[in-house]
Protein backbone atom coordinates (compact mmCIF):
# COMPACT_ATOMS: atom_id res chain seq x y z
CA UNK A 1 0.00 0.00 0.00
CA UNK A 2 1.24 3.34 -0.87
CA UNK A 3 1.41 6.55 0.95
CA UNK A 4 -1.92 7.57 -0.50
CA UNK A 5 -3.61 4.49 0.85
CA UNK A 6 -2.21 5.01 4.32
CA UNK A 7 -3.25 8.66 4.19
CA UNK A 8 -6.77 7.70 3.12
CA UNK A 9 -7.07 5.11 5.89
CA UNK A 10 -5.77 7.59 8.46
CA UNK A 11 -8.12 10.30 7.19
CA UNK A 12 -11.07 7.88 7.21
CA UNK A 13 -10.22 6.74 10.74
CA UNK A 14 -9.95 10.35 11.90
CA UNK A 15 -13.26 11.20 10.25
CA UNK A 16 -14.98 8.15 11.74
CA UNK A 17 -13.52 8.96 15.18
CA UNK A 18 -14.71 12.56 14.89
CA UNK A 19 -18.22 11.43 13.93
CA UNK A 20 -18.43 8.94 16.81
CA UNK A 21 -17.03 11.49 19.28
CA UNK A 22 -19.40 14.16 17.96
CA UNK A 23 -22.37 11.82 18.28
CA UNK A 24 -21.55 10.94 21.91
CA UNK A 25 -20.82 14.59 22.75
CA UNK A 26 -24.15 15.63 21.27
CA UNK A 27 -25.95 12.92 23.26
CA UNK A 28 -24.18 13.93 26.46
CA UNK A 29 -24.98 17.61 25.82
CA UNK A 30 -28.64 16.77 25.29
CA UNK A 31 -28.72 14.78 28.54
CA UNK A 32 -27.01 17.64 30.41
CA UNK A 33 -29.45 20.18 28.99
CA UNK A 34 -32.39 17.99 29.98
CA UNK A 35 -30.97 17.53 33.48
CA UNK A 36 -30.42 21.28 33.79
CA UNK A 37 -34.00 21.94 32.67
CA UNK A 38 -35.35 19.50 35.28
CA UNK A 39 -33.14 21.04 37.96
CA UNK A 40 -34.43 24.49 36.97
CA UNK A 41 -38.02 23.24 37.17
CA UNK A 42 -37.41 21.80 40.64
CA UNK A 43 -35.76 25.03 41.76
CA UNK A 44 -38.67 27.10 40.40
CA UNK A 45 -41.18 24.78 42.14
CA UNK A 46 -39.27 25.12 45.42
CA UNK A 47 -39.25 28.91 45.09
CA UNK A 48 -42.98 29.01 44.37
CA UNK A 49 -43.68 26.78 47.38
CA UNK A 50 -41.56 29.05 49.58
CA UNK A 51 -43.46 32.11 48.38
CA UNK A 52 -46.80 30.36 48.92
CA UNK A 53 -45.88 29.35 52.48
CA UNK A 54 -44.59 32.84 53.26
CA UNK A 55 -47.83 34.41 52.04
CA UNK A 56 -49.89 31.95 54.10
CA UNK A 57 -47.84 32.75 57.20
CA UNK A 58 -48.17 36.50 56.63
CA UNK A 59 -51.93 36.14 56.20
CA UNK A 60 -52.20 34.15 59.43
CA UNK A 61 -50.20 36.80 61.29
CA UNK A 62 -52.46 39.56 59.92
CA UNK A 63 -55.59 37.65 60.95
CA UNK A 64 -54.26 37.09 64.47
CA UNK A 65 -53.18 40.71 64.77
CA UNK A 66 -56.62 41.93 63.71
CA UNK A 67 -58.26 39.59 66.21
CA UNK A 68 -55.93 40.77 68.96
CA UNK A 69 -56.76 44.41 68.20
CA UNK A 70 -60.47 43.58 68.19
CA UNK A 71 -60.24 41.79 71.54
CA UNK A 72 -58.26 44.66 73.07
CA UNK A 73 -60.83 47.21 71.85
CA UNK A 74 -63.60 45.12 73.41
CA UNK A 75 -61.76 44.85 76.73
CA UNK A 76 -61.13 48.60 76.76
CA UNK A 77 -64.80 49.35 76.06
CA UNK A 78 -65.92 46.85 78.72
CA UNK A 79 -63.53 48.36 81.28
CA UNK A 80 -64.91 51.84 80.59
CA UNK A 81 -68.50 50.65 81.09
CA UNK A 82 -67.51 48.74 84.25
CA UNK A 83 -65.80 51.81 85.65
CA UNK A 84 -68.80 53.94 84.77
CA UNK A 85 -71.15 51.52 86.53
CA UNK A 86 -68.96 51.54 89.67
CA UNK A 87 -68.33 55.28 89.85
CA UNK A 88 -71.32 56.72 88.04
CA UNK A 89 -68.95 58.86 86.00
CA UNK A 90 -68.82 58.28 82.29
CA UNK A 91 -69.93 59.30 78.85
CA UNK A 92 -73.33 58.50 77.37
CA UNK A 93 -71.72 56.83 74.34
CA UNK A 94 -69.79 54.25 76.38
CA UNK A 95 -72.53 51.63 75.97
CA UNK A 96 -72.65 52.19 72.22
CA UNK A 97 -68.87 51.80 71.99
CA UNK A 98 -69.16 48.51 73.89
CA UNK A 99 -71.87 47.28 71.49
CA UNK A 100 -69.70 48.16 68.47
CA UNK A 101 -66.72 46.38 70.02
CA UNK A 102 -68.92 43.36 70.81
CA UNK A 103 -70.13 43.28 67.21
CA UNK A 104 -66.52 43.26 66.01
CA UNK A 105 -65.68 40.36 68.36
CA UNK A 106 -68.73 38.43 67.15
CA UNK A 107 -67.59 38.99 63.56
CA UNK A 108 -63.94 38.05 64.17
CA UNK A 109 -64.80 35.02 66.31
CA UNK A 110 -64.24 32.28 67.03
CA UNK A 111 -67.54 31.27 68.63
CA UNK A 112 -66.03 30.67 72.09
CA UNK A 113 -64.63 34.19 72.24
CA UNK A 114 -67.87 35.74 71.00
CA UNK A 115 -69.82 33.77 73.59
CA UNK A 116 -67.50 34.93 76.39
CA UNK A 117 -67.79 38.54 75.18
CA UNK A 118 -71.56 38.14 75.17
CA UNK A 119 -71.41 37.07 78.81
CA UNK A 120 -69.54 40.27 79.68
CA UNK A 121 -72.03 42.44 77.78
CA UNK A 122 -74.98 40.57 79.30
CA UNK A 123 -73.52 40.96 82.81
CA UNK A 124 -73.08 44.70 82.29
CA UNK A 125 -76.59 45.05 80.85
CA UNK A 126 -78.06 43.24 83.88
CA UNK A 127 -75.85 45.26 86.23
CA UNK A 128 -74.48 42.14 87.87
CA UNK A 129 -72.01 42.22 90.76
CA UNK A 130 -68.40 43.29 90.20
CA UNK A 131 -67.26 39.74 91.08
CA UNK A 132 -69.49 38.27 88.38
CA UNK A 133 -68.27 40.84 85.85
CA UNK A 134 -64.60 40.17 86.69
CA UNK A 135 -65.19 36.43 86.31
CA UNK A 136 -66.88 36.98 82.93
CA UNK A 137 -64.00 39.24 81.87
CA UNK A 138 -61.42 36.58 82.90
CA UNK A 139 -63.33 33.97 80.87
CA UNK A 140 -63.25 36.31 77.88
CA UNK A 141 -59.51 36.85 78.29
CA UNK A 142 -58.90 33.09 78.54
CA UNK A 143 -60.98 32.41 75.43
CA UNK A 144 -59.20 35.22 73.56
CA UNK A 145 -55.78 33.89 74.56
CA UNK A 146 -56.75 30.41 73.42
CA UNK A 147 -57.96 31.82 70.08
CA UNK A 148 -54.68 33.70 69.68
CA UNK A 149 -52.75 30.64 70.87
CA UNK A 150 -51.12 32.61 73.69
CA UNK A 151 -50.01 31.07 76.99
CA UNK A 152 -52.29 31.82 79.91
CA UNK A 153 -50.88 34.30 82.47
CA UNK A 154 -48.49 32.65 84.91
CA UNK A 155 -47.79 29.72 82.56
CA UNK A 156 -45.80 31.30 79.79
**What is the pTM (predicted TM-score) of this model?**
0.66
Angle at 18 between CA 14 and CA 21, to 5 degrees: 135
pLDDT for 1 beyond 70: no
pLDDT tens digit string along 8-52?
Answer: 788 888 888 888 888 888 888 888 888 888 888 888 888 889 989
Q: Which of 78, 133, 135, 84 is nearest to 105 (CA)?
A: 78
Model confidence band, residue 92 (pLDDT cutoffs 50, 70, 90): low
Please report which confidence band the pLDDT of residue 154 belongs to, taking 50, 70 and 90 as the band edges.
Answer: low
Amino acid sequence: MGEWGIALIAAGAALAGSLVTGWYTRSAGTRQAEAARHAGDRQADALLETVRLTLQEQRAVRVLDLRRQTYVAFLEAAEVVMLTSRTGIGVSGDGAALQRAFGAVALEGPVEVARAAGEVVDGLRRQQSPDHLERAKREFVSAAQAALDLPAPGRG
